[in-house]
């Protein structure tokens, strides 16, 4: 188990990469080369490696500021994620695009992965938030400063079993990726207005 102040105990889902709890309630995860989650919609092989999470309650919100250290290669990301099983999961990423931009990217998987690019991020970090509204319904948001939240997507995860929620770093094409998560907040109430900036 890994303990971060303000969070339920964390455990590795699938398998583990290097992780460190830093002063001030920060979490650092270093992904090995090839670390990714995908159920390729084009029919490629599934990939599921290395996420750190806790058993998700029926309703909550989890947010963090995500910093991905340079240098970064394509698809390097720090991620908030939810995991039911290999065919039912989702992730909200601060990711490097093939065009060299830093972006908010979301992936929802009910069998196959639905991959969607969102906001371009100009700075070195972004705040990400995942929320569970009820047993199957989830929402993703992002924010530049962690106070005004931009809606990313609302979706259902077609899974009735236990779900883990938490953190990962991915490095599907590069040698490694180090992501730092701070300003981590876990609250028992999801936002009541998904599109109002709260």
Whether residue 4 lies inside any domain: the answer is: no
Mean pLDDT of the chain: 94
**20 is written with which tokens?**
């460190």
Report if residue 1 sits inside a domain: no
**Per-residue pLDDT tens digits for 104-147:** 999 999 999 999 999 999 999 999 999 999 999 999 999 999 99
Quote the pLDDT of residue 65.
Answer: 98
Q: For 40-54, what is each residue's pLDDT tens digit?
A: 999 988 988 878 999
| Res 12: pLDDT | 85
Asked if residue 192 is part of any domain, the answer here is no
Span 154-168, pLDDT tens digits: 999 999 999 999 999
- CATH number of the CATH domain containing 105: 2.60.120.200
Strand order across the 137-143 sheet: 18-22, 26-32, 176-187, 60-68, 125-132, 137-143, 150-156
Cβ contact 90:109 at 8 Å: yes
**What's the pLDDT score for residue 72?**
94
**Which tens digit of pLDDT belongs to each residue from 62-71?**
999 999 999 9
Range of the domain at 151: 11-187
Structural domain contains residue 196: no
Q: pLDDT-derived band of residue 13, with 50, 70 and 90 as boundaries?
A: confident
5, part of any domain: no
Give the bridge partners for 38, in sequence order.
47
Q: What is the pLDDT of residue 22?
A: 86
Q: How many domains does the chain have?
A: 1
Is the CB of residue 138 less than 8 Å from the CB of residue 82?
Answer: yes
């Amino acid at each position: 188990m890994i303990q971060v102040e303000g969070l339920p105990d964390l455990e590795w889902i699938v398998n583990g990469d290097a992780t460190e709890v830093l002063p001030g309630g920060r979490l650092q995860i270093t992904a090995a080369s090839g670390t990714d989650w995908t159920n390729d919609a084009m029919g490629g092989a599934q990939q599921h490696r290395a996420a750190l999470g806790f058993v998700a309650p029926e309703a909550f919100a989890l947010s963090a500021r995500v910093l991905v250290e340079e240098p970064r290669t394509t698809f390097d990301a720090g991620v908030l994620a939810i995991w039911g099983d290999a065919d039912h999961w989702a992730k909200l990423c601060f990711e490097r695009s093939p065009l060299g931009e830093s972006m908010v990217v979301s992936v929802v998987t009910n069998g196959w992965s639905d991959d969607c690019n969102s906001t371009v991020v100009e700075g070195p970090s972004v705040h990400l938030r995942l929320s569970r509204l009820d047993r199957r319904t989830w929402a993703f948001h992002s924010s530049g400063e962690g106070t005004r939240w931009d809606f990313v997507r609302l979706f259902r995860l077609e899974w009735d079993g236990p779900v883990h929620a938490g953190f990962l770093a991915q490095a599907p094409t590069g040698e490694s990726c180090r992501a730092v998560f701070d300003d981590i907040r876990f609250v028992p109430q999801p936002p009541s207005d998904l599109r109002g900036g709260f």
